[in-house]
Amino acid sequence: MRIVLLALLLIGCGDNKLLSDGSIDSHAFQDTDVDASDPNNPKTLFDTGLCVDRACTQISPNVHAYTPQFPLWADTASKRRWYYLPPGTQIDTSDMDHWQFPVGTKFWKEFTRDNVRIETRLVMRIAANGVPADWFYVPFQWNATNDDTMAVPMGVQNANGTPHDIPSRLFCKMCHESLQPTRILGFGAIQLDAPATNVGETTLASLVAANTLTVNPPAPSSGTTYFPIEGNAAQKAAMGYLHANCSHCHNPTSGVHDIVPMELRLLVGEVHDHTMTAAYRTAVGKRSTISLGTPMRCPDMNNQPNAAECIIAPGFPADSNMFVRFTADPTSNLHMPAAGSEMTDPTGQTTLSTWITTP
């Protein structure tokens, strides 16, 4: 799987005109796939409407910031996120686990690594359901002076003199299209159900107050959290980590599910009991469908160890297929996540190890 994903990424990165430091030569770059006159195919970040100015020193007043409560690991890169909803529209929340956004919705995510602002990605709803290309994806690379951008639909490796790789549009689509019909990975009931990380940012509560949702969640029975995740601190952290970092592939709408029937997405109807969450039901004490070729203990029906490989072997991180793959050399085909990261997340490693030890 990792070979296929990385091969597709490398195919998409071959045609950019790069300088020696990994930055883009905007004079040499030509892309017939980007048309500045087409609002659904913007040439620069400024053309998307995110910013008041090309250097993006000021965000447009109708664009809103948000921060997911469970972050997605991005090889030490820091991120900022924004969204825009067309005036007078609402988010369809008739399925609280799978929000659907109106045509014209835009999401942006900015990546900064080693104090270098590298790219800002756009994900935009451009057509209604039933149209094959209903979502549009494109990354924009920042120039060396940080005052303008250029669409880089083919992606860029080691961009702007950093180890950060800008993904191709194809690569963006592969990840987002694995979570249907929502497509947006960090903006939903679970991820927004927490106090704002920064002043003025959007939360689930603020969306309810602004009448932004077609169906509001039930009012909190206590406190301010609509869907509190039951469990101790280690269990909550692990469930949130898997939800943010793994569930966009490991969910029933993804093609990966046909190969590995493991589900790691938190659902609002299951968080009241951590043992009923998808991760517990499909991973804890469950034998892996993909073998690592090494005997590993997995409890059988009588909770006795045997030589079968287990996705999560309760009490034994080193005997858990998930943990072995997570901590494998990131350059190997064994490593998970299969793409999008070249470094093992140390916080994630601790989070998963702690949880598996006493799940």
Answer with the residue of higher pLDDT: 138 or 6. 138
Residue 23 scores a pLDDT above 50: no
**Which pLDDT does position 302 carry in this prediction?**
52
Highest mean pLDDT among 36-45, 148-157, 249-258: 148-157
**Which pLDDT does position 306 carry in this prediction?**
58
Cis ω on the peptide bond leading into residue 153 (within 30° of 0)? no
Give tens-digit pLDDT for 30-49: 333 444 457 788 999 999 99
- Annotated domain spans of the chain: 2-176, 229-359
Average pLDDT over residues 211-236: 95
Give tens-digit pLDDT for 263-281: 999 999 999 999 999 999 9
**Which pLDDT does position 41 carry in this prediction?**
87
Contacts of 339 (CB under 8 A, 6+ apart): 2, 5, 6, 9, 171, 175
Nearest-angstrom CA–CA distance, 223 and 225: 6
Nearest-angstrom CA–CA distance, 123 and 176: 9
Average pLDDT over residues 222-247: 95
**Which pLDDT does position 7 carry in this prediction?**
36
Give tens-digit pLDDT for 286-337: 988 888 877 777 766 455 555 578 899 999 999 899 999 999 999 888 899 8
Amino acid at 132: P
Average pLDDT over residues 103-120: 97
For all residues of the chain together, what is the average pLDDT? 87
Average pLDDT over residues 39-68: 95
Answer with the residue of higher pLDDT: 25 or 268. 268
**Residue that is written with structure tokens 């017939």 in the block:** 32
Residue 225 scores a pLDDT above 50: yes
Confidence of residue 223 (pLDDT cuts 50, 70, 90): confident
Confidence of residue 13 (pLDDT cuts 50, 70, 90): very low
Residue 123 scores a pLDDT above 70: yes
Residue 344 scores a pLDDT above 90: yes
Answer with the residue of higher pLDDT: 173 or 90. 90
In angstroms, the Cα distances linking 117 to 51, 276, 321, 323 are 15, 41, 36, 32
Residue 140, number of CB atoms within 10 A of its CB: 27
Contacts of 300 (CB under 8 A, 6+ apart): 306, 308
User: What single string gives the DSSP state of each residue in 66-97?
Assistant: E--SSPPP-TT-EEEEEEE--TT--BB-SSTT
Give, to the nearest 10 degrees, the angle between helix 2-11 and helix 169-176. Answer: 140
pTM of the model: 0.87
Confidence of residue 167 (pLDDT cuts 50, 70, 90): very high
